[in-house]
Structure 1
Amino acid sequence: MAEGSRIRCFPPVADPATARVLILGSMPGKASLDANQYYAHPRNQFWSIMGTLFGAHPALPYAERLAMLTGAGLALWDVLSSCERRGSLDSAIDLRSAQANDFAAFLGRHTGIRRVLFNGALAETCFRRDVMPHVRALDMLRLPSTSPAHAGLSATDKLHAWRAALQPSLVVAV
C-alpha cells in the first residue's frame, strides 16, 4: 500500500439470521490490511476482549474467531468503504476523501441488528455525519477504541466498557 493511496475496507462479517449487534471501526489499519484480517495488529485489544467475552481468543485461527462472533450475534464492519490515509492512525485519514459503506442496504439485509457499537471516536463521527440520515433508528454507543494508539484507558477498563455494552440480552446466546 503506497503512502497516501486510497485504501478500502473489508467486506462485512455478519450472519443475516443472527446478527443483533454491529461493531464498527473506521478503517482497518496497515497491519490489518496487510494480514487481510480485522484487528490484526498484535497490540490491538479487540481479540483479547472478544476472547474473554465470547471465547474468540487471539490464538485461535481467524476463521474460528469470526465464526464465534457471528454465532454470538455480532457483526463486524467499518464505517468507511474507502479513504486516503498516510500511515495507520485514524487521525491520518483525509476525511475529504472518505466514502461511507452502504448501510441502508446492509441493514435492509440484516434486519435483526438493533445496536451499533463504535470502536472509537472517528467511527462514530463518520457514521453520524455520513450514514445516520439514510438509515433506520438504532441504539448506538461509542466504546473506547481497542487500538494500541488509544492508551488513555487500561485494558481492564476497556474490557469493562465492552462487557457492559455486550450484555447477553443484547446478543444471541453463545
Structure 2
Amino acid sequence: MADTRKRCFDPVVDADTRLLILGSLPGEKSLAHSQYYAHPQNKFWMLLGEVLGVDLKSLPYEARLATLLAHGVGLWDVVAQAHRSGSLDSNIRNRDDNDLPGLLARFPAIRAIAFNGGTAAKLGIKVLGGQAPHYRIVELPSSSPAYTLSYAEKQKKWSDLLSVIVK
C-alpha cells in the first residue's frame, strides 16, 4: 500500500464524557469504513463492551458510539494526520498531532485518559505535556490483532477502566 497521508476521525465526545480513550491513528480497515476500530479482528468493541456490560459488537456503529457517550466514554486519536504505509504504528511518519489540550479544555468533565496501545501512550503523554498529571492516565494493551497478548490478558488490563467509568 502506498505511503499516503492518513487522517484521523472527528472526536466522539460530549459534555458528559469522563473518560477519553485515545488510539494512535486509524488503520486501513477503519479508514476504508470511516469507523473507529473497524478491523474485524480488532478486539476494541469486545473489550470495552465487557467493561460496560453491553454487547457493543452486535450494535450498529452509530449505536456503539451513542452507547459509549451514554456511559461517559469518548474516543479520539493522538495523531491528527501522518504518512503511513499500511496500518502499523511503527510506520507512522511526519505526523501532526491532535490538539489534546484544547479538547480537554472544551470538555472539563474528562477526568481520565486511556491510551489504546503503547504508541498512543508514548505520543499522547508527550502531547499532553504538563497537563498529564491532572488526569488519571491508563495505559492499555492495544486492542489490535498486531499486538499478540492473549485476549484474557488484554481483558484483565482493560477491566481497570471500570473504576474510571463508574461515577
- What band does the TM-score fall into relative to the shorter chain? over 0.9
CA-to-partner distance for each residue in 1:24-71, whole Å, 9 max, x for gaps? 000000000000000000000001112222214212100111111111
| Structure 1: distance between partners of 2:140 and 2:132 | 21
Match of 2:159 in 1: 163
| Cα distance, 1:136 vs structure 2 | 7.1
| Structure 1: distance between partners of 2:139 and 2:38 | 21
CA-to-partner distance for each residue in 1:124-173, whole Å, 9 max, x for gaps? 1111223324677212121100000001x211111111112332xx2256
| Structure 2: distance between partners of 1:80 and 1:142 | 16
Identify unmatched segments of 5+ residues in structure 1.
none
Which secondary structure state, in structure 2, belongs to the residue aligned with residue 47 of structure 1? Answer: helix
2:51 partner letter:
L
Aligned to 1:122, which of 110, 114, 119? 119
Which secondary structure state, in structure 2, belongs to the residue aligned with residue 7 of structure 1? Answer: strand
Match of 1:53 in 2: 51
**CA spacing shift, 1:105–1:10, aligned 2, 3 Å:** same
Identity of aligned residues (%): 41
Identify unmatched segments of 5+ residues in structure 2.
none
Match of 2:5 in 1: 6
Which secondary structure state, in structure 1, belongs to the residue aligned with residue 134 of structure 2? Answer: coil
| Structure 2: distance between partners of 1:130 and 1:50 | 24
Which portions of structure 1, spanning 4 or more consecutive aligned residues, are displaced by more than 3 angstroms? 133-136
Say what the alpha-carbon RMSD is for the aligned residues. Answer: 1.6
Task: Report if the CA contact (8 A) 1:56-1:64 is conserved.
Answer: no
| Structure 2: distance between partners of 1:39 and 1:104 | 24
Task: Report if the CA contact (8 A) 1:50-1:56 is conserved.
Answer: no
Of stretches 142-151 and 131-140 in structure 1, the one that deviates more from structure 2 is: 131-140
Of stretches 157-166 and 19-28 in structure 1, the one that deviates more from structure 2 is: 157-166
How many residues matched? Answer: 166
Match of 1:85 in 2: 84
CA-to-partner distance for each residue in 1:65-119, whole Å, 9 max, x for gaps? 111111101010000101110111111111xx11111112211111011111000
TM superposition score normalised by structure 1: 0.89
Task: Report if the CA contact (8 A) 1:20-1:114 is conserved.
Answer: yes
| Structure 2: distance between partners of 1:11 and 1:76 | 9
Greater helix share, structure number: 2
| Structure 1: distance between partners of 2:127 and 2:75 | 18
**CA spacing shift, 1:165–1:52, aligned 2, 3 Å:** closer
